[in-house]
Amino acid sequence: MAERNCRLLVIGGGPGGYVAAIRAGRLGLDTILVEAETLGGTCLNIGCIPSKALIHAAEEFEAAKHRAGKNPLGITASAPSIDLAATVAWKDGIVDRLTGGVAGLLRKGKVTVIRGRATFRDGRTVEIATADGVEIVRPENTIIATGSVPVELPFLPFGGKVISSTQALSLAEVPRRLVVVGGGYIGLELGTAYAKLGSDVTVVEAAGKILPQYDAELTRPVAARLAQLGVKVMAETKAKGLSADGECLVVTRADGSEEVLAADRILVTVGRRPRIEGAGIEKLGLTTERGAIRIDERCRTSMHGIFAIGDVTSEPMLAHRAMAQGEMVADIVAGESRVWDKVAIPAVCFTDPELVSVGLAPEEAKAAGHETITGLFPFQANGRAMTTGRDDGFVRVTARASDHLVLGIQAVGPGISELSASFGLALEMGARLEDIAHTIHAHPTRGEALQEAALKALGHALHI
């Protein structure tokens, strides 16, 4: 049985784990990364990247359909068709390029990559089951970056026509009728994509509205576009199980009534849970909280020398959070004094229109005890938005009334995800409304709506 020691062992090669390992390798730490499946983890293989590729293909298809019909741009084209298998192959090519890139970066960083499943024997000994047998690693430090898995409903287990996001990203054909259980991030991103690809989509959401974590002002444009795309949203409705013949989904409304929904595919997207099982993590007796490993502001677990990062440490389950944690922990293991002191973690939902939230929403700021001022600028008054044929949505800025410190920025609009960087920068730099208002924003861009929202909060918007 092969045995080795190392300074750092990283378990899991997703965005948290691979970033930690690359950084550690570049810092000269003797680093081993172990990955049971494919480098890149959920994000690159079955999450962020493939979903955005599918969403892009769906947008292109929908735009082509729009051009084939009557449209105000004066463009006519013939009706498009789609070969979903070819789209999936294109998506797989992007995934391969990115995962290959990660492998190359790890190689350059002199990280030893072991393909296999890691299991803790104890806090200082990790066993790795590889295709060639078992290896033992005795690391000085370990980072647990095992990610998350989709939540399975016990009365609607995955299999047959009941699928998770993983299968939804690799279907051979566009389902005629798609029922989506859970109107959160994944359900709406993929539900919208399939609606554009031609599926008849119904979203079943237990809460009172879609994307319940965001306020109604923010989600209204998304709901309006879903209606325009013909997506039926059933709020305050819960999945109950399959009908007796296994063909339909039975749902229960808030008033207790039941409805039977015919479906070719049922996509269950009711959240993800930390992946703790299978790596012997339970044996270590680490402190957990609602199924996630509890960490402090340095991503330290309750056991000395063991860190945890990414989805396994709970919400927000976002790739950029995992990456930032991974980078920080590598620095800490190398001896740097670092602590998690981020002002905000941007959240982007790639619906149509897209939705961005950085920092506090107006109600959250009030609930936190701040006296606030808010400015909202609609894209209806933004020249660039008009020229793209889509002027739905807005940018909204909330600041502390006393000194105008920006507390939060939200936006909803087509392509608005690209503005998340400037929103995040504003918060991280401790910007005041005046800093944004006095920054020259290029014309004509959607970014001008941020400047105008700040001006509006200060009481003197220019273009509204």
By CB under 6 A, the residues from 279 to 338 that bind ligand FAD are 279, 310-311, 317-320, 322
**Catalytic residue (one of 66, 370, 443, 460):** 443
Question: Residue 306: which of ligand NAD, ligand FAD, none does it interact with, CB under 5 to 8 A by kind?
Answer: none
Q: Is 358 in the site for ligand FAD (CB under 6 A)?
A: no
Among 278, 285, 291, 389, binds ligand FAD (CB under 6 A): 278
Encoded tokens for 84: 């979903």
Encoded tokens for 184: 């959160």
Encoded tokens for 422: 């400037």
Q: Is 184 in the site for ligand NAD (CB under 6 A)?
A: yes
Bridge-based pairing of strands 306-308 and 133-144 is parallel
Binding mask 364-403 for ligand FAD (x = CB under 6 A): ----------------------------------------
Question: Residue 13: which of ligand NAD, ligand FAD, none does it interact with, CB under 5 to 8 A by kind?
Answer: ligand FAD
Among 43, 111, 162, 330, binds ligand FAD (CB under 6 A): 43
Sheet holding 258-262, edge to edge: 237-242, 248-253, 258-262
Among 30, 37, 200, 215, binds ligand FAD (CB under 6 A): 37
80 vs 116 by CB, closer to ligand FAD? 116
Cis status, amide bond into 353, omega within 30 of 0: yes
Q: Is 29 in the site for ligand FAD (CB under 6 A)?
A: no
SS3 74: coil
Q: 182 near 205, Cβ under 8 Å? A: yes
Q: At what angle do helices 185-197 and 48-68 cross, to 10 degrees?
A: 30
Q: Is 349 in the site for ligand NAD (CB under 6 A)?
A: yes
Between the alpha carbon of residue 422 and those of residues 134, 148, 356, 411, the distances in Å are 48, 29, 11, 12
Least CB distance to ligand NAD at residue 41 (A): 13
Encoded tokens for 440: 């020259």
Residue nearest ligand NAD, CB atom distance: 184
Q: Is 183 in the site for ligand NAD (CB under 6 A)?
A: yes
Least CB distance to ligand NAD at residue 415 (A): 14
Q: Name, in order, each residue with C-beta under 8 angstroms of 204's C-beta and a sequence gap of 6 or more.
A: 179, 180, 181, 182, 183, 234, 237, 238, 239, 249, 251, 261
By CB under 6 A, the residues from 234 to 273 that bind ligand FAD are none
Among 182, 310, 326, 424, binds ligand NAD (CB under 6 A): 182
Encoded tokens for 25: 């390798």
Cα separation, 18 vs 9, in Å, equals 11
Encoded tokens for 444: 């004509």
Q: Is 414 in the site for ligand FAD (CB under 6 A)?
A: no
Asked if 443 is an active-site residue, the reply is yes
Least CB distance to ligand FAD at residue 113 (A): 11
Q: Is 419 in the site for ligand NAD (CB under 6 A)?
A: no
Q: 279 near 118, Cβ under 8 Å? A: yes
Which helix (H) or strand (E) covers residue 410, if one does?
strand 406-413
Amino acid at residue number 39:
L
Q: Is 123 in the site for ligand NAD (CB under 6 A)?
A: no
Encoded tokens for 313: 């440490």
Q: Is 317 in the site for ligand NAD (CB under 6 A)?
A: yes
Q: 20 near 107, Cβ under 8 Å? A: no
Give 286's strand partners.
none
Q: Which residues have a catalytic role annotated?
A: 443
Interface ranges with ligand FAD (CB under 6 A) = 11-17, 34-37, 41-43, 47-48, 51, 117-118, 145-148, 165, 186, 275, 278-279, 310-311, 317-320, 322, 350
